[in-house]
Every structure is written in structure tokens, then in C-alpha cells.
């Protein structure tokens, strides 16, 4: 049996167990996957405990993505660049490798939803936090022609743009109008926030071929997605990235390609 789980605080509502277990059931992989609530300041003990218990992997969610780094033997180039780990793999010798599958998950989700990636595209990313940084890094590596980082703090946008130095620029006021792909990586439009009913950006001037992605998955249809859809634009919510990042983790731990459709359906079922 392969044993894995997710650490976070809180972690009660994590959809990761449902997503990973659905994939395992579909493939006949013998996987146990559990939620482990880990309080801030307790990640070292949690990693030691997971290693001692023979776990193969851990998903890492808020607020531990940065804090785990100093307790790992090795981190991937992606995780080092993002200064964030969302996936720990325990080697047969107990060594710990940290990776970040958020950017790969975004690309997997976009390709799954829209049938193509970002090669040759102008991608406009709204926000410069953890999710935005993962998307910028991944799009830079996936052949985006240009990436515009639109964030309210210029210094954060400049720092995030360094993750794709050849193609990304910070904080262009008119950046979204001629974008091929727009990605909302802010909480604007998210349920139970002060900006729940707000549009992350105006969509009125977008071209008819623009793909609009909102990384939010609660609600499933955000104000941005609703407005885009009203204009006939292709628009996609955040469940695909959620399923995609889990699919990449599942492949790490099991060595088997993950069934994205199954994981997406499990993510949607909550
Ligand atoms: P984060 O690290 O806190 O970054 C949030 C970004 O949004 C920051 O740049 C922040 O700017 C900006 N922001 C916050 N409130 C804003 C507002 N009212 N107007 C304009 N910009 C605002 O958060 P995160 O982890 O990157 O998450 C961002 C979004 O992505 C959330 O909605 C989250 O649910 C979603 N997400 C989805 C997935 C998925 O798998 N689908 C994964 C991760 C995150 P300041 O720095 O100036 O505050």
C-alpha cells in the first residue's frame, strides 16, 4: 500500500483526499490518503512523523508551503524558484524531496479544458502572490511569448516577473486588452471575502478568442467567468488547476499517469 496525506492548518475542508482516492480507485492503485492538521510551527515534527510512519508523500497546503523548505533534504528547481513547496516525496532511504506542482497543474488544467497551452501566447496574470508566481513560472517555461503581471503592488509584480525573465513584464496598465489568456490569481470574486461580487478585471475590450481562467473555485462561476461567458469568451474555473496539481503529485508518488478527468470530477464533487 502507498500511504500519503495532506498537511495544512486548517485542513478539514481539503478536497485532496477525495481527488487522490478517486484516481487510485480508477486505476486500482492501493492508496491511503489522509488529512493531517498541522499547526504553524509544527512542520518539522510532522515531516519526521510522516517519515517514521513510512508515508510516500505529503501534499502541503496553507500556511506551510514556505515553512517546510528548511526541513527538507532537497527541493526541485521549481520549488526553489517559487520559494514554495506543495508536494513532499519520501525516497526509499527516507530522504525528502520538495516540489511545487501548482504551475504544472495550471498548464495541465488549461490544456484539459481548452485543448491548448500557452505556447506563443500573451498571458496576462492578475495578482503576484503564490498562485500567480506558479502560473508565471510555468507559462515562461511552456513557451509563452509574453507575460504581463498586473498587480496592485508594483514591487510584487516586478519580483514575480523575474520568474520568467525573458518574457514577463510587470504592472502594465493596458496589459489585459490584447492578451490571449487571462488568469485571475487574486481573491477578487471569491465567496466569503469582501470582494465576493466583484469583477477581477473588465472583460469588455477582450478579443473573441481570449481564454479567461479564474483560479478561484468557490464559487464555481465567479463574476469574471460569468461576464466572460456572457461575451461568448471561453472561460474556465479553478477546479482544473486543483485537479492538475494533484495529478502531478499522484504521478510522483505512484509512478502512474493520473486520470485527470476522474480527478476533476472528484474535485467538482467536493
Ligand atoms: P496570495 O499569495 O495571498 O496572493 C494574492 C494576490 O492577490 C496578491 O498579489 C494580492 O495583492 C492580490 N490581491 C488580494 N486582494 C486583492 C484585491 N482586492 N485587488 C487586487 N489584488 C488583490 O494568494 P494565492 O495563494 O496566490 O491565491 C490567489 C487566488 O488563487 C485565490 O483566489 C486562491 O483561491 C486561488 N488559488 C487557486 C488554486 C487552485 O488550485 N485552483 C491554487 C492556489 C490558489 P497584495 O500582495 O497586494 O495583497
Q: Inform me whether the pLDDT recorded for 225 exceeds 80.
A: yes
pLDDT in tens, 44-66: 999 999 999 999 999 999 999 99
Could you give the CA distance from residue 46 to residue 40 in angstroms, rounded to a whole number?
Answer: 11
List the residue whose alpha carbon is closest to atom 40 of ligand 1: 242
pTM over the 0.85 mark: yes
Whether the CB of 50 sits within 6 Å of ligand 1:
no
| Integer angstrom CA distances of residue 256 from 241, 260, 262 | 19, 12, 14
Atom number of ligand 1 nearest to Cα 153:
47
Is the pLDDT at 243 greater than 80, yes or no? yes
Instruction: List the strands of the sheet with 31-37, edge to edge.
Output: 31-37, 2-8, 57-60, 87-90, 96-99, 74-75
Longest dimension (CA), the chain: 56
What is the pLDDT averaged over residues 56-79? 98
- Ligand 1: atom nearest CA of 151 is 9
65: annotated active-site residue: yes
Q: Which of 61, 15, 66 is nearest to 38 (CA)?
A: 61
Ligand 1 centroid to Cα of residue 127, in Å, is 6
The answer, yes or no, to whether residue 111 has pLDDT greater than 80, is yes
Distance in angstroms between the alpha carbons of the first and the last residue of the chain: 25
Ligand 1: does its nearest atom lie under 6 Å from the Cβ of 215? yes
pLDDT score of 110 more than 70: yes
- Report, as an integer, the average pLDDT of 93-118: 96
- Which of 110, 113, 152, 190 for a ligand 1 pocket mutation test, highest count of atoms within 8 Å of Cβ? 152
User: Is the per-residue pLDDT at 172 higher than 70?
Assistant: no
Q: Report the nearest-CA residue for atom 22 of ligand 1.
A: 186
Whether 84 has a pLDDT exceeding 90, the answer reads yes
> Hey, how many other C-beta atoms are within 10 angstroms of the C-beta on 121?
19
pLDDT grade for 94, boundaries at 50, 70 and 90: confident
Residue 171 near residue 195 (C-beta atoms within 8 A)? no
Atom of ligand 1 nearest to the CA of 187: 32
Residue 132 to residues 11, 28, 127, 129, Cα–Cα distance (Å)? 22, 35, 6, 5
Q: Note whether 24 and 57 are within 8 A (CB).
A: no
Kindly report the protein residue whose alpha carbon is nearest to atom 3 of ligand 1.
129
pLDDT band at 174 (very low <50, low <70, confident <90, very high): low
Statement: residue 177 has pLDDT above 90:
no
**Which of 15, 20, 35, 65 is labelled catalytic?**
65
* Atom in ligand 1 nearest the alpha carbon of residue 238: 41
What are the angstrom distances between the C-alpha of 48 and each of 51, 55, 58, 71? 5, 10, 12, 9
Q: Tell me what the pLDDT averaged over the chain comes to.
A: 96
Polymer length in residues for the chain: 270
Amino acid at each position: 500500500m502507498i500511504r500519503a496525506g495532506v498537511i495544512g492548518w486548517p485542513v478539514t475542508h481539503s478536497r485532496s483526499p477525495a481527488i487522490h482516492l478517486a484516481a487510485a480507485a480508477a486505476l486500482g492503485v492501493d492508496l491511503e490518503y489522509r488529512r493531517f492538521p498541522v499547526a504553524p510551527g509544527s512542520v518539522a515534527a510532522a515531516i519526521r512523523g510522516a517519515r517514521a510512519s513510512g508515508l510516500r508523500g505529503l501534499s502541503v497546503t496553507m500556511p506551510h508551503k514556505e515553512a517546510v523548505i528548511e526541513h527538507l533534504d532537497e527541493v526541485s528547481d521549481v520549488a526553489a524558484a517559487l520559494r514554495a513547496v506543495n508536494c513532499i516525496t519520501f525516497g526509499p532511504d527516507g530522504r525528502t524531496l520538495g516540489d511545487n506542482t501548482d504551475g504544472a497543474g495550471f498548464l495541465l488544467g488549461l490544456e484539459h479544458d481548452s485543448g491548448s497551452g500557452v505556447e506563443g501566447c500573451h498571458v496576462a496574470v492578475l495578482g503576484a502572490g503564490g498562485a500567480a508566481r506558479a502560473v508565471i513560472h510555468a507559462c515562461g517555461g511552456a513557451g509563452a511569448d509574453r507575460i504581463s503581471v498586473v498587480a496592485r503592488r508594483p514591487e510584487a509584480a516586478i519580483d514575480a516577473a523575474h520568474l520568467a525573465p525573458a518574457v514577463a513584464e510587470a504592472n502594465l496598465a493596458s496589459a489585459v486588452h490584447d492578451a490571449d489568456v487571462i488568469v485571475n490569481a487574486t481573491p477578487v470574486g471569491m465567496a466569503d471575502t469582501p470582494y465576493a461580487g466583484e469583477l477581477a478585471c473588465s472583460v469588455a475590450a477582450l478579443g473573441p478568442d481570449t481564454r479567461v481562467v479564474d483560479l478561484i473555485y468557490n464559487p464555481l462561476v465567479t463574476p469574471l467567468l460569468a461576464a466572460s461567458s456572457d461575451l461568448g469568451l471561453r472561460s474556465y474555473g479553478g477546479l482544473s488547476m486543483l485537479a492538475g496539481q494533484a495529478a502531478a503529485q499522484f504521478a510522483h508518488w505512484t509512478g502512474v499517469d493520473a486520470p485527470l478527468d476522474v480527478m476533476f470530477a472528484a474535485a467538482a464533487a467536493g
